[in-house]
Chains A and B, each alone.
Chain A
Amino acid sequence: MEKIGIEQISLAFGFIILMLGLWGILSRKNIIKIVLSFTLFDTGLNIIIVAIGYLKNKTAPILDSAELQTDTASKIVDPLPQALVLTSIVIGLGVTSLLLVYALKLYKEKKSLFINDYKDLKW
């Protein structure tokens, strides 16, 4: 059993935040809180992504020193998840903003942010 490293801790942290977000999504009744739970969910996910790309005792994949420019592969952490997380964040941003605008519009329609009030379509 090796020592638990930062990567496991952050991964676990990511999962916990994700689960918290999910809990909020499923149990909160206020639309804004649900949207916020979604951002929590996304954040957890992003942490997971970054954590997965982490390699023990490696540095950031920015080759700004000459030392890093040789035998790079053994010195840096995985750059790909970091690229992915960027995309993920941007997408999360887009989705969240749209969700908020929806929330705003819903509020305008019924003056309520209680999700159970929006059951016009059913069965």
Chain B
Amino acid sequence: MLKNSLILILILGFAAIMLSLFLSYTPSEDLKGVSKHYAEYGKEEVGAANLVSAVVVTYRGFDTLGEVTILFLTASVIGFFLKVNHSKDDENTAVKKYSEILGTSAKILIPLMVLLGVYVFINGHLTPGGGFQGGAIIASAFVLMFIALPQRKISHKVLSAVESFSGLSYVLIGVLGIILAAGFLDNQILSLGTFGSVLSAGAIPLIYILIGLKVGTELTGIISNLKELQNEQ
């Protein structure tokens, strides 16, 4: 197979490039560059115990806005790509029955999962986690619901309203940063509060809540779209 051997050669060539990268890596002992600054001044400047969150939401908040946008964009694209006809949902009830055990446990688990998600994003600035993680957990709750309780429906209107609301609020908070504080997405529009408490780190918890809601609804939306497309077939 000429083609396969060609691919093999290419892979080997590419591996050689990767190898040269790998070989150039030497484990470093200390922080350097910008992260040193983050480590040293993060506490005072941002007030978030979770430095990763400080970087994600504040120092590189603009990236995060982009991230949110990507998810939103993906959800929108998938939305019109699949062109799911939501109005037909009600008639289309040829739903498979799932096992009783799954259904019952889902009913217990789903609220717990949502709660966990909320916890994760509310405490994003303090503990490992944050808006994305929390949102993902919430979305997985809904995935479980789709699997275990297929007859339950989620209103797309509500989903997109929440999505839009949280996105818009995020942008508004960013703009407020220009008006009230030092720059776009500055977290100091709210006071930094006591280091380590829930209501600290300025706007980070607020932003994380919005992100959490947004990610949760978006992922849910994508999955429900996919599911409905499958139902149509």
Contact = CB atoms under 8 A, between A and B. Distances in A.
A55 interface: yes
A79 B56 CA distance: 9
Given A62-B50, A83-B55, A73 B31 contact: yes
B38 interface: yes
Contacts of A83: 52, 55-56, 59-60, 63
A7 B66 CA distance: 29
B229 A80 contact: no
A115 interface: no
B191 interface: no
A65 to B, nearest CB: 9
Contact of A94 (B21, B52, B70): B70
A80 B18 contact: no
B51 A61 contact: yes
A63 B43 contact: yes
B71 A93 contact: yes
Nearest to B219: A93
B229 A104 contact: yes
A90 B132 contact: yes
A65 B25 CA distance: 31
B64 A87 contact: yes
Given A78-B35, A91-B70, A72 B42 contact: yes
Interface of B: 4, 7, 10-11, 14-15, 18-19, 21-22, 25, 27-31, 34-36, 38-40, 42-43, 49-52, 54-56, 59-60, 63-64, 66-67, 70-71, 73-74, 77-78, 81-82, 126-128, 130, 132, 195-196, 222, 226, 229, 233
